[in-house]
Structure 1
């Protein structure tokens, strides 16, 4: 029994799950503070995490038993039961989301489940879909997290689209690292299908489009088309530009590490651009600082007093 649980938990992969769960919270944090509800945010984020877990189980089943590319940790029957149970859990939680928060956040988690079940052995065999399915999932998680709290504005949709573009460019670089192995198993990523050099040019194009789109969001704020603060949005355009430079100048592995680190700056700058003083994220930060500040004062008073 213990071995079966350990084998199941081996498919909980935080490196892939946390970004999607974090983007759900990120989307919720962009909502107006009066509309934000912690239980709804946790429900959506948890459902996103469960959908990612189903994806990892599905990958393990396909790669281990159908393709024989790795040693499976579970039997065929155990994989199938776990995938069905996880899928049923996502559907049930999506139904709860629909009842509590509306159809859009529920559809977002159902869409993530569909991506989870289709990634292997279907989406991961085509150069386009294997490049964009995870970035699209990140964008869906962001929009769904926001929709769980409030109506999705054009700003949140624009931010989600920019993340999709940036992450798709980075995904090309990640696939370049795996190009020899992917070629050996017939996995048609962009580097396999078009060669590393042409794949780099495609990644550069994605970064250029993302940089242009980010500047466009900032200019839309200047023109009054979107309720964003222009300076942070325009500043965020340096991230895809720097990612392009890393692709051109650095070794592939180092370029990917640099690009992944830069995504945090991208997220922070877009958040500052899209989140005004009335959004939930600012309210949470201010509340936390107030609590920490008061706690620090109380601790200081106790230290002085005795």
Structure 2
């Protein structure tokens, strides 16, 4: 029989067990890029307010936290895919409700600080997070592009929040990350090929086969890098952004022959370096 404490946390008792259960849904590998993308979008706007940027980042944190909790809830409590989960069903619902309320508060703040457009452009990030499972992840496009689309919207909405407009540069960077990260996500999903195929979960790897999915993923990533080159040549991006291509491409080349698990680890870290290189290029303009 559940006590008041373990009605929320499945392991341990007391307030610290509950706190650990809630904090367990913060996954740094997937949480840090959206938060960094929020500040990247602010930087693209030119001069920016740290306070407004912090409110936007808070909204994005709530959106990604929602995605993590909902995904864990569905995979463990609904689909029985995962071996364990720190939160009970009640705990998951409390976490989702808390994240939703915090997100609404952040939206109200963005509305007050930057107008209704800021709130409306940020709202879809939470919708994507909430619908990731079990809606979006049951279709190859939704499973692959949900997270990248969230990153793209984060960049665009952060720029709008700071400037009141959607700069062409932020739209272009959003497109680059949508494309590049869709390739990375295709490799990431291939890690679960055996299990996904056994339950009929239609990821790109399941639909196309692992070898074809890898070729498609690398084709998508190549297009993403090509967009950076094209936008740099066309004057949309600073010329120094081409250095980011030189940072990511060698990592992708090393990952080509690796297992999906190792390839994903390499590509995610390569994406971190790619984003860091773009931030440096936009912030410092070393070639100008």
TM-score, normalised on structure 2? 0.85
Aligned to 1:271: 279
**Unaligned 5+ runs, structure 2:** 6-14
Query: What is the rounded CA distance, in whole Å, between the counterparts of 2:73 and 2:242 in structure 1?
Result: 44
**Unaligned 5+ runs, structure 1:** 278-306
Aligned to 2:65: 53
- Worse-matched range after superposition: 235-244 or 186-195: 235-244
**216, 226, 232: which one pairs with 1:218?**
232
- Worse-matched range after superposition: 18-27 or 144-153: 144-153
Aligned to 1:116: 129
Change (3 A) 1:72 1:276: closer
Change (3 A) 1:246 1:108: farther
Query: What is the rounded CA distance, in whole Å, between the counterparts of 1:54 and 1:262 in structure 2?
Result: 26
Aligned to 1:202: 216
- Worse-matched range after superposition: 42-51 or 10-19: 10-19
Q: Is 1:255 paired with 2:263?
A: yes
Give the superposition deviation at 1:239. 4.8
Runs of 4+ displaced beyond 6 Å: none
- Worse-matched range after superposition: 70-79 or 202-211: 70-79
In 1, are the aligned partners of 2:184 and 2:267 still within 8 Å (CA)? Answer: yes
Aligned to 2:152: 139
Q: Is 1:229 paired with 2:238?
A: yes
Query: What is the rounded CA distance, in whole Å, between the counterparts of 1:270 and 1:176 in structure 2?
Result: 28
Count of aligned positions: 269
Change (3 A) 1:104 1:127: same
Change (3 A) 1:105 1:218: same
TM-score, normalised on structure 1? 0.80
Query: What is the rounded CA distance, in whole Å, between the counterparts of 2:77 and 2:150 in structure 1?
Result: 25
Query: What is the rounded CA distance, in whole Å, between the counterparts of 2:215 and 2:200 in structure 1?
Result: 22
What is the DSSP-based 3-state SS (H/G/I as helix, E as strand, rest coil) of the residue aligned with 2:162?
coil
Aligned to 2:202: 188
